[in-house]
Amino acid sequence: MHELLAPAGSFAAMEAAVCAGADAVYLGASRHNARLHGENFTDETLPDAVKYCHIRHKKVYLTLNTLLSDRELHEMSEYAHFLSETGIDGVIVQDIGLASLLREAVPTLPLHASTQMTVHNSLGIKRAEALGFSRVVLARESFSPALIANSPLEIEVFIHGALCISYSGQCYFSSMLARRSGNRGTCAQPCRHKYKNGYALSLHDLCLAEHIPTLLSMPIASLKIEGRLKSPDYVGGVVSTYRTLLDEGRSATKEEMEYLRSLFSRQGFTDGYFLEKPGKHMFGFRTEADKKASQNVSVSLAETPIPLSMDMQIAEGVPSVLTVSDGVYSARVEGAVPEKAASRPLSIADCEKALSKLGGTPYSASVTASVGPDLFLPAAALNALRRDAVAALGQAAMEKYEYKKPSLDVESKPAKKAEIHCIFQSADQIPASHNIDFIWLPLFAIEKPIGENVGAILPTIIFDKEMEPVREKLELLKTFGLKKVMCHTIGQSLLCREMGLLPYGGTGLHIFNGRTASLSDMEGVMASPELLASQIRTMPKPLPLAVLVYGRVTLMTMENCLAKVHSTCHGGKDVYPLTDEKGNVFPVLCAYPHRNEVLNARPLYMADKMDVLEGAGISAFVLRFTTETKKEVEEIMSLYKMRAPAPFPFTRGCFFQKETAKEKLAPRRK
């Protein structure tokens, strides 16, 4: 069965999803989820939500899909205990440190790898399995039938809703520009803004309603609708449409597509990634006409009662017994001992009348009864039995998990004196003479042997069908003496180790706490560029930790080629300039095989602030050069040697943001 999974940003949206026919809902708590702007669920309302869904035979998945600092990870130990009591059916997680904590604390609680983990190939699925996940939410760009068919884990895919142009989990745009992190639940949605290039980053919403038979032919465990910030009407309307299509095994009609568009649209929908045809046809923004079309939409839903079988046993001298079952859960309660009838004895019809009063519950009754001769129970006793049985049935639906207090200790290993590492976009940028301890170059930028202190950087995204050229290149570079490889997604370490190479974690791995670093399967890691300086200093360092101190941070990694979409692509030879309305220019680079990386308009600069990181156990300071000429590289290296202030516009990134107990939310853009 293909589970239909619906968003529940509020209790009302959850009720709409269930009434409309969802098999499961996913919802966020008031902490550590990727939609902190939503209404979400508190520690008080979450158990009520689980109970509401479970008695209706629906599953509930909790989203804890953000990165956690070491301090927050310690706080999660207590929260894991709370989760073990709620009976939720699974947790959607991005941070592998949190996943290991939950696995240790609540061993039987299913873990789902969030789309924020950028799992897009068989290596990623294999690594997720080793980390204890039971389900993977595939990247929205990845729809390989072979990948899905051969997965050892359950596969969940998005079928409707908003699309980020960046691979989920590989976007720092909001964080670096607005100080609101998509990886921390506070994205400001810069992809929806207007640039001088127009709405150059805004995609249509995803809609696969016209591909239902194909989806049903694939062994997909869960079909997911996006929209935890959407209204109950939107949730109910979209879910009910897909429920009908799935039940009837057919594609949407023209009228049904128009209805979906009226609920919410950005100039229509796209199925470009599903068809593996990215391009200009995928781009669109929300117009005034779209907004007007949604204003008058109202969805009316009625809940279908759950058949409840009720069996009453009334015998002389013993407590009355009522057994109830809804086909999944059952309960048995005892009531008053019947009395001898003074006048009219209790009849089976009396039992049926009293027990069928199920108003205010999701049930309809089918009653059987056995009543001994000349016995009587007052109506109040029968009503009490009915209420107790329904309450007991609800409790039976609230399964609990065993909790074991996890170990939170992560040991730091002593670091040697910090080295200087440099990342170059091409070998032509490397100065003739330098004091660089180690050099990193993109995999396909290394054309000849250039020294033992050189490592290769794997492309962030490598689909299975693109893996062979990568393997061949690595084999060639091994003959050049290559030993170290930088990885940006979780499965890439498996490729390196299989080939006898040493994997090192790049910024795409989101190393946000010591526990995640220790589980990364890397020889060394780079800290997430979203970490504060104070967090870096106090982070346990079980592996050598490198920190980016100069360079343009990659803000987005995307499947679409912006040059091809908005201008003319010349096979990766041009850099496409993305310019915002303030005149800031964001360089766009080509990535293997024909993807794009958007760079920050200003480079991170820390030469005059290096004192805040010294003595923090850091193994290497990393300078990244992308658009700089060789002469500019030499000048910047000199500035760092002198600890001099920058003579050009720059950013401090996230280093000096204020650390607070909770994310401070700025007003959300409409």
Q: Burial code of 312-339, b = ≥16 C-beta within 10 A, e = fewer?
A: bbbeeeeebbbebbbeebebebebeebe
**Which range is least confidently modeled, 24-28, 208-212, 563-567?**
563-567
Residue 125 DSSP label: H
**Phi-psi group of 374: left, alpha or beta (phi > 0 → left; psi -120 to 50 → alpha; rest → beta):** left
| Residue 212 CB coordination number (10 Å) | 21
Strand 375-376 with 339-340, pairing:
antiparallel
Strands 585-591 and 595-599: antiparallel
> What are 237's two structure tokens?
């309307």
Q: How confident is the model at residue 34 (pLDDT cuts 50, 70, 90)?
A: low
307-334 pLDDT, tens digit per residue, is 999 999 999 999 999 999 999 999 999 9
pLDDT category, 661, cuts 50, 70, 90? very low
Query: Can you give the pLDDT at residue 347?
Result: 93
Is the confidence at residue 37, as pLDDT, over 80?
no
Does pLDDT of 666 surpass 60? no
- Average pLDDT for residues 549-557, to the nearest whole number? 96
C-alpha to C-alpha distance for 80 and 77, rounded to whole angstroms: 5
Q: Which of the four pLDDT bands, split at 50, 70 and 90, describes residue 573?
A: low
Tell me the per-residue pLDDT of 264-278, one tens digit each, with 9 for 90 and over. Answer: 999 999 999 999 999
User: Tell me, what's the pLDDT at 35?
Assistant: 56
**pLDDT value, residue 664:** 36
From the number of C-beta atoms within 10 Å of its C-beta (0-12, 13-18, 19+), residue 112 rates as buried
The structure tokens listed for 317 are 């001298």
Task: Please give the pLDDT value at position 179.
Answer: 83
For residue 402, give the 3-state DSSP assignment: coil
Q: How does DSSP classify residue 405?
A: P
226 pLDDT exceeds 60? yes
